[in-house]
Amino acid sequence: MILIRCLLLAAACALLLFCPPSSFPFPLPLLLTDGQLGRALKFTLALWLVRDINAGLTRWAENRWMWTANGGVWNWSKEIAVVTGGSQGIGAAVVKSLVSHGITVAVLDVQPLSEELQNDKSDLIRFYQCDITSRDAVRQTGEAIRSHHGAPTILINNAGIGNANSILDVTPARLRAIFDVNLLSHWNTVQQFLPDMIANKKGHILSVASLAAFVGLANMTDYCCTKAGLMAFHEGLTQELKHRYGAPQVLTSIVYPSWTQTNLTKAIEKGIRGSGASIVEPADVGKAIAAKVISSTSGQLVLGPGLAASVRALPMWVQEWIRDRMAQVVTVNATTASAAA
């Protein structure tokens, strides 16, 4: 669709720029012949063309320089997805959305399934109690999943915890825990499930980050660091699949949710709303993540203000003004074992 629109816009721009009005077999509207209006129209069409070309190149790059999605290799009723932290919150919403497409889901979590998931009648949800920060536990769970269902083709690294502590107040134990769960565990799960994807030239690894990856927040420095690190992990994994493992067919995506209604946001909800930000429901995030999987395309998904991903391209004074506005969002001391924004 973008390619067709670009061709049409390019043709329109060429006609207006290089063909005099007298050469047309029919009289042109005043809008096209008037000097100022005509120039404004040409400028608008040119900007529209540049925007669409940029969007098309972005999609092309995200899709590993392939023009079409490789959707033909996916048979959702036969796919196995692994979702970490899938018992509650965003993870549970992702599980429900994937199951609605007929995908079998293996949930890895230290917490039991929510009552809603336990009551699910689809018979497509399998729960594995697993501490994803333990390499050995992930290995044992991976072996069990392959034995029961086969090799997973979809890995959604969703598990996350959050602290609301200042740099001086956070304890070494909580600091280690947040990095272990939010970032280091991705090495455990990817090392466990990626080899089969590479061998089969098919797979999709999706990481759940946060808009906090783009803006450092007072009293959430550790959380922001893990999410910024996750962005680097996603980029490095993408490059290694293309240039080290010879498996560009294995898709990689990263999702940046905005503030989402979880245990952590309950403690700081007043500050969030005071900053003018909204709080979205986990179901909305879960549906968006599942839709990205079903699209069979790589790329990033920003679930919030589009400007957030570009904030570091803004002048420094604007960046600092944004961070100052966010400084009063987190003013309490709190911890949570649930995925945050």
Average pLDDT rounded to a whole number, residues 308-337: 82
CB hemisphere CA count around 127 (13 angstroms): 18
Phi-psi region of 292 (alpha: psi -120 to 50; beta: other; left: phi over 0): alpha
CA 201 distance to own-chain centroid: 22
Average pLDDT rounded to a whole number, residues 125-152: 98
Whole-prediction pTM: 0.83
On the question of pLDDT at 173 being above 70, the answer is yes
Q: What pLDDT was estimated at residue 30?
A: 47
Percent of the chain predicted with pLDDT > 90: 61
On the question of pLDDT at 5 being above 70, the answer is no
205-242: pLDDT as tens digits: 999 999 999 999 999 999 999 999 999 999 999 999 99
75-130: pLDDT as tens digits: 999 999 999 999 999 999 999 999 999 999 999 999 999 999 998 878 999 999 99
Please give the Cα distance from 115 to 340 (Å, whole number).
20
Average pLDDT rounded to a whole number, residues 288-308: 92
- Which residue from 224, 255, 212 is spatially nearest to 90, judged by alpha carbons? 255
CATH class of 80-336: alpha beta
pLDDT band at 341 (very low <50, low <70, confident <90, very high): very low
pLDDT band at 340 (very low <50, low <70, confident <90, very high): very low
On the question of pLDDT at 328 being above 60, the answer is yes
Please give the Cα distance from 313 to 42 (Å, whole number).
28
DSSP assignment of 60-106, as one string?
HHHTTT-SS--GGG--GGG-EEEEET-SSHHHHHHHHHHHHTT-EEE
25-67: pLDDT as tens digits: 545 554 455 555 556 666 676 676 677 777 677 766 777 676 6
Catalytic (active-site) positions: 223, 227
Q: What pLDDT was estimated at residue 313?
A: 87
Q: What pLDDT was estimated at residue 330?
A: 81
Residue with the larger pLDDT of the pair 200 and 120: 200
pLDDT band at 338 (very low <50, low <70, confident <90, very high): very low
252-295: pLDDT as tens digits: 999 999 999 877 677 778 778 887 888 899 999 999 999 999 99
